[in-house]
Amino acid sequence: MAGNVKVLLVDDNPMILGLLRQALEPLAALTTASDSADALLKAIDDPPDLLIADYSMPGMDGWQLFEKLKGRAATSRIPIILAASRADINDKLKSLEDRAEDFLEKPFFIKEATARVKRVIDKIALEKMAREAPGDGQLRGSLAQMNVVDLLQSLEMGHKTCGLTLTRDGESCQLFFSDGQINHALYGDLKGDSAVYKVLFWPDGNFLIDFTRHSPEQTTTRSTQGLLMEGLRLLDEANHEAEQDVLES
């Protein structure tokens, strides 16, 4: 699903640029630039869906690139992630907090940075699909395109209000979102948190997002992120118990 997202990656350090490119290429259609001037020209010529730029670069730095892109009508809506040190994020970039899509704190581990960027790419991919969806407000897809966890995170990050139906082998789960938070969930006789946990790690199946549906019911007790974290804890606990059973048998 995220393959339809165009990402422009900007860094003057060829090693970091190469590592990030290798990590992100499976997730999006990637273009790179080694300085802000080149990135600005590329963004104007073919606006990306997401721009990831290092803050500290010679000549035009990431801040200046950010302001130039936001100051042009054709590029003002491009989401931008800036990579910077903690000190720069806390001091120099504080004023961009509400305008930047995210910050990557340097130094970072490639795996962690990739996971953070992937959440943004998934959200953008979902929004693009929603814009291209038929006029009935429904968006259909396969969990092979986007798994359940990524799907829920994308709806949360996009602050979506909608109904989400997950189906697999004759089983069905209904989840309802309000401003990105799951407020109601049904899976057979299960409601709320327990219904969400039953489907979090389905390996396959299909999904249907209906942006015209919502529910006033409140059966969940945690935020969307809280449900994901608790679901991961329960999975780890179940895996540990299974390992113990094998060792004791």
| pLDDT at site 182 | 98
d(CA 248, CA 25): 44
CATH 3.40.50.2300: which residues of the chain?
Answer: 2-127
Mean pLDDT computed over 155-168 = 94
Superfamily of domain 2-127: Response regulator (3.40.50.2300)
> What is the rounded radius of gyration, in angstroms, for the C-alpha atoms of the chain?
20
Structure token digits, residue 8: 């422009």
- pLDDT-derived band at 93 (thresholds 50, 70, 90) equals confident
Which alpha helices (H) appear in the chain, and where do they start and end? 14-24, 36-45, 62-70, 86-90, 110-132, 148-157, 193-199, 224-248
Say yes or no to pLDDT of 21 above 60: yes
State how far the Cα of 153 lies from the Cα of 124, in Å rounded to an integer: 12
Q: In angstroms, rounded to a whole number, what is the distance separating the alpha carbons of residues 99 and 95?
A: 8
**In this structure, which amino acid lies at residue 27?**
L
What's residue 1's pLDDT? 54
Identify the pLDDT of residue 247.
58
Mean pLDDT confidence for 190-213: 95
